[in-house]
Amino acid sequence: MNELIRAVDIEKGYDARPLLRGVSLSINGGERVGLVGANGSGKTTLVRILCGGLDPDSGEVFRRGRIAWLDQEPVLVGPTVHDAVAAATAWHHELLAAWELAMSKGEPDQVAPLQARLDTVGWEIEHRAEALLTRLGAPPRDAEVSLLSGGERRRVALALTLLDDPEVLVLDEPTNHLDAQAVEWLEGLLLSWRGAVLLVTHDRYMLEAVATRIVEVEDGDLVNYDGSYTDYLVSRAERRLAQEKSEDSRINLIRREAEWASRSPAAQTTRQKARLDRLAALQAVRPLRREDSILLDLRSGFKLGGTVVELRGVRKKYGNTPILHDVELSVLAGDRIGVLGPNGAGKSTLLKLLIGSETPDRGEITRGNRVRPVLFDQERSGLDPAMTVYEAAGEGNDQVRVGEQWIHVASFLTRFLFTREHHTRRVSALSGGERARLLLARLLLKGGNLLLLDEPTNDLDLLTLGVLEEALLGFDGALVVVTHDRAFLDRVCNAVVQFEGDGRVVRYASRLQALEAEKRMNDRRAAAGPATLRTASPSPAASPTPPASQTRRRLSFKEQRELAELPDRISTLEAEQEAVAARLADPRVYRDGSDVPALGRRLDEVAAESRRLWARWEELLPFS
């Protein structure tokens, strides 16, 4: 077994609170391990211990081979991006210099291993660095590190981590601040990575595609699940159900034994002592930690009319760069619109225009009379780092109003899984996920009926993410959300708008429809070159008449009707696919298990039919 990292009996705690309770973990060559768990459960702490960035209170970590690690708060070395790249690639220049020196001295025993290493990692690194930085949307080389935003800093750090070409690649929330195209590219890269991968991410599609094993941090322990993310969901539901049954049996047995002990005679027979010892042993067992859930109801109670916000001929540019060009967009009551596009395209600017913090250079923006917009921005602004959690939640008050009811701040924080010990903790000491949860709590108090969310899924754990999705599906207002999370978009949004270059914004029914349109556009661009050359040929006779199979044809009436019906049929199948998947993720389904095989078969059938209809839609659309 090619073991690259082995952690044994790791313990770590903060402020007398145990976080990791004697956990052990092995990572072998070729494995792709997904690390999951609730916010604050210890995922990042464990990653830092495994990579050597943090010492455990007790236990040992054994490492073999190179480890490259993307931390949630990366540090870039040097005043500029260029300097950071030079520092990160110094190992390659040293390797190349060592090979050249060995060659000049004529030392074949030294040359062979160095040459083998260069053959593996590549002889040229500058072009690779430039390609990675460009692909991830990093800032230019002369940009000052001190002036970079958090997202820019992370994109540079991710590129440099991938450049390191390690045996073990450790990525802590790598998709934060990446656009959807970069996320899909990264997913493909991880699938072909020849070393081991340890991945902490809330991106469910990436976990499903990449992970060969899921490790969950649960109440200070590590639980291993072999297989994909879907396998993990099923196995976890079955395990929790068995644990809850066992815990209920333990509690009932303690109750019966305690009643017997209170009535038993004073004589200490051997049998009585054995029962008392058994009672003590049952009481000493660490109780099962019941899973808490956030109570998030974003409904405002303010009914909206037809049009919430409308943009007509809106233009916006910064310098000579067009951000929006003659944009026509209506946001209606009940709309849940996802915004797609590369970093820097103008997605955040669109949200600022919708809320009114930015004004257009040209065009009109009309808002309904009863619209109350609320912005959840990417920078997570609105929280004072010096405040305690209690002060930030209540904004200095002991009572907050939730709907029509006033409740105490302590009770309100409990809904968002903040315990009493969190109340006095400074906002600056919170993890990214805890900060996001606190902002969600504040979002609930504002009671807006137009929610504008900019990358709301960043740093959220999978449990909180599911709660947020449910709350948005039941929201009674309108939603516009910028997110790279593909699963979130597919589940929550009933429309998307995509930035397609030069400030153009186009609306589609779904993310998949937008992807298909983008693919057709790219195909047309790729075909434009050869077509132009054929048109410019000096000898028209040399260009034969295209065969009848390649000429444009008209759709029959039956095909036109089929094409018109396909979007609704696809939407119905996708809704059923979502419903079946939700049932399979419900632990109650596994109590007798009789429905599970049929549900699994139906999920496969619906997915296959959905793919068939998408292929048919793509086949007919060019002739419409």
Do the Cβ atoms of 566 and 617 come closer than 8 Å?
A: yes
Positive or negative, the Cα torsion across 84, 85, 89, 90?
negative
User: What region does 145 belong to: left with phi over 0, alpha with psi -120 to 50, or beta?
Assistant: alpha
C-alpha span between 21 and 204 (Å, rounded): 27
Which of the listed ranges 47-56, 493-502, 525-534, 599-608 does the model predict with the highest average pLDDT? 47-56
Query: 289 versus 531: which is more confidently predicted?
Result: 289
In angstroms and rounded to an integer, the radius of gyration of the C-alpha atoms of the chain is 29
pTM of the model: 0.71
Q: pLDDT by residue (tens digit) across 507-528?
A: 998 888 888 888 787 777 666 6
**pLDDT score, position 60:** 95
* Integer angstrom CA distances of residue 383 from 428, 564, 578: 9, 48, 35
Q: Which two tokens stand for residue 580?
A: 């079946």
Do the Cβ atoms of 177 and 154 come closer than 8 Å?
A: yes
SS (H, E, C) 39-73: CCCCHHHHHHHHHCCCCCCEEEEEECCCEEEECCC
C-alpha span between 260 and 262 (Å, rounded): 5
Length of the chain: 624
**pLDDT score, position 541:** 35
Q: pLDDT by residue (tens digit) across 182-200?
A: 888 899 889 888 889 999 9
**pLDDT score, position 525:** 67
CATH domain 307-512 topology? Rossmann fold (3.40.50)
**pLDDT score, position 81:** 92
Match 């907050």 to its residue by tokens: 400
Instruction: List, as own/partner pairs, every contact residues 573-581 make where C-beta atoms lie below 8 angstroms and the sequence separation is at least 24, other chains included.
Output: 573/606, 573/609, 573/610, 573/613, 574/490, 574/510, 574/610, 576/606, 577/603, 577/606, 577/607, 577/610, 578/490, 578/491, 580/606
Q: Which two tokens stand for residue 308?
A: 């919430």
Which of the listed ranges 261-270, 357-366, 399-408 does the model predict with the highest average pLDDT? 357-366
C-alpha span between 314 and 356 (Å, rounded): 13
> What b/e readout covers 409-445, taking b as 16+ CB neighbours within 10 angstroms?
beebbbbbbbeeebeebebeebbbbbbbbbbbbbbbe
The two beta strands, 221-226 and 495-499, are unpaired
Q: DSSP label at 166?
A: -
- β-bridge mates for residue 407, sequence order: 400
**pLDDT score, position 313:** 92
Give the type of residue at 2.
N
Rounded average pLDDT over 611-619: 75
Write phi, then psi, for 194 (nearest 5 degrees): -80, -15
**pLDDT score, position 269:** 61
CATH domain 1-66+168-243 topology? Rossmann fold (3.40.50)
- Model confidence at 395, pLDDT cuts 50, 70, 90, reads confident
Q: pLDDT by residue (tens digit) across 411-426?
A: 888 877 788 888 888 8
Which of the listed ranges 113-117, 250-254, 518-522 does the model predict with the highest average pLDDT? 113-117
The domain at 552-623 falls in which architecture?
A: Orthogonal Bundle (1.10)
The SS3 call for residue 554 is coil
- Model confidence at 536, pLDDT cuts 50, 70, 90, reads very low
- Model confidence at 530, pLDDT cuts 50, 70, 90, reads very low
C-alpha span between 232 and 172 (Å, rounded): 20
- β-bridge mates for residue 340, sequence order: 498
> What b/e readout covers 323-345, taking b as 16+ CB neighbours within 10 angstroms?
bbbebebebebebbbbbbbebeb
C-alpha span between 75 and 309 (Å, rounded): 41
CA angle 173, 391, 417 (to 5 degrees): 50
Do the Cβ atoms of 185 and 203 come closer than 8 Å?
A: no
What lies within 8 Å, CB to CB, of 542 at 6+ separation is none
**pLDDT score, position 201:** 92
- Model confidence at 585, pLDDT cuts 50, 70, 90, reads low
Q: Which two tokens stand for residue 232?
A: 């993990």
The pLDDT mean for the chain works out to 82
Instruction: Average the pLDDT over each of 45-54, 138-147, 186-195, 549-558 and give the range with the smallest value.
Output: 549-558
Rounded average pLDDT over 83-90: 90
C-alpha span between 572 and 468 (Å, rounded): 23
Please determine, for residue 614, whether its predicted confidence score (pLDDT) is greater than 80: no
* Integer angstrom CA distances of residue 122 from 68, 92, 95, 98: 17, 9, 11, 15
Do the Cβ atoms of 201 and 459 come closer than 8 Å?
A: no
The SS3 call for residue 513 is helix
Query: 542 versus 348: which is more confidently predicted?
Result: 348
Give percent above pLDDT 70 in the chain: 85
Taking every pair of Cα atoms in the chain, the longest distance, rounded to a whole number of angstroms, is: 115
Q: pLDDT by residue (tens digit) across 128-174?
A: 888 888 888 888 888 999 988 888 899 999 999 998 878 999 999 99
Instruction: Average the pLDDT over each of 193-202, 276-285, 314-323, 480-489 and give the range with the smallest value.
Output: 276-285
- Model confidence at 544, pLDDT cuts 50, 70, 90, reads very low
Match 């109350």 to its residue by tokens: 372
Q: Which two tokens stand for residue 611?
A: 């793919």
User: What region does 122 belong to: left with phi over 0, alpha with psi -120 to 50, or beta?
Assistant: left
Please determine, for residue 408, whether its predicted confidence score (pLDDT) is greater than 80: yes
Q: Could you state, in order of their start, the residue ranges of all structural domains in the chain?
A: 1-66+168-243, 307-512, 552-623
**pLDDT score, position 31:** 94
The yes-or-no answer to whether 1-66+168-243 and 307-512 have a common fold is yes
Q: Which two tokens stand for residue 243?
A: 């644990």
Positive or negative, the Cα torsion across 147, 151, 155, 160?
positive
Do the Cβ atoms of 315 and 322 come closer than 8 Å?
A: yes
Give the type of residue at 1.
M
The SS3 call for residue 559 is helix
Query: 145 versus 242: which is more confidently predicted?
Result: 145
Please determine, for residue 481, whether its predicted confidence score (pLDDT) is greater than 90: yes
Rounded average pLDDT over 67-95: 90
CA dihedral 329, 330, 336, 339 (to 10 degrees): 10
C-alpha span between 198 and 215 (Å, rounded): 10
Please determine, for residue 549, whether its predicted confidence score (pLDDT) is greater than 70: no
C-alpha span between 382 and 64 (Å, rounded): 44
User: What region does 212 belong to: left with phi over 0, alpha with psi -120 to 50, or beta?
Assistant: alpha
